[in-house]
Structure 1
């Protein structure tokens, strides 16, 4: 599982003095992209193959407020099935371990030319990664 710590920025705060909802989505996206890059995927390699990740559904559950001065650790855990989609679950925790929010996303890989989802997206990611364990994929065999 991958983790990244993100400081709460002043421009992430709403009129109520806590982090606004869209900022949680931005944190989740940032964590997923840094995870993919840490796994060895260069975003340019996706473009060169004419494929791109797409978010099809996102659910956010809020458990506790985040306020200015907080830091939040965001995790990423990928879950692969046999169809055209995968799921990513993410937990947002403050340094003492308290769960602040959770995000669950359904994603796919889009053929950028045909505008269709590709079957079994994990096989495409497997071809691109150098650290498959970060994306919940089996290690490559020699």
Structure 2
């Protein structure tokens, strides 16, 4: 499981003193991209191959208020046999309290044909030097 710690920015706080809804989505995106890069994938390589990740659905479940300070965001990828995958992300404050969960369904888009690619995990595995961070089997020598 990949985790990244994010410092809550002052402009992410609403008038009630807690983190605004759109900030959760931004934090989730940041954590997913950090995970992809930690797995050894260069976003420029995606562009070179004319493929790109697309988000098809996002659900946010709020459990507790998130205020100023730090939040740890995890990423757990779930791969199936179709054209999509799911990423489940937990948001936890330093004492371990779960404050929110973000669940996303995504795919890899062929940027020329504008169609989802089959078996996106195979593409991520090929590109990653550490595919295990993406929930994929490590490469065999």
Q: Trace 1:89-100 onto structure 2 (pairs within 5 A).
A: 89-100=88-99
- Report the Cα distance in structure 1 between the residues aligned to 2:21 and 2:106, rounded to whole angstroms: 20
What SS class does the counterpart of residue 25 from structure 2 fall into?
A: helix
What SS class does the counterpart of residue 67 from structure 2 fall into?
A: coil
- Residue deviations 1:96-120, cap 9 Å, x none? 1000000000000000000000000
Q: Structure 2 unaligned segments of length 5 or more: list them.
A: none
- Residue deviations 1:54-90, cap 9 Å, x none? 000000000111112x210000000000000000000
* CA RMSD between the two structures: 0.5
- Report the Cα distance in structure 2 between the residues aligned to 1:6 and 1:13, rounded to whole angstroms: 14
Q: Match for residue 116 of structure 2?
A: 117
- TM-score, scaled relative to structure 2: 0.99
Q: Structure 1 unaligned segments of length 5 or more: list them.
A: none
Q: Match for residue 24 of structure 1?
A: 24
In the TM superposition, structure 1's runs of 4+ consecutive aligned residues that sit over 6 Å from their partners are none
- Please state how far the C-alpha of 1:51 moved relative to its aligned partner: 0.1
- TM-score, scaled relative to structure 1: 0.98
Q: Match for residue 2 of structure 1?
A: 2
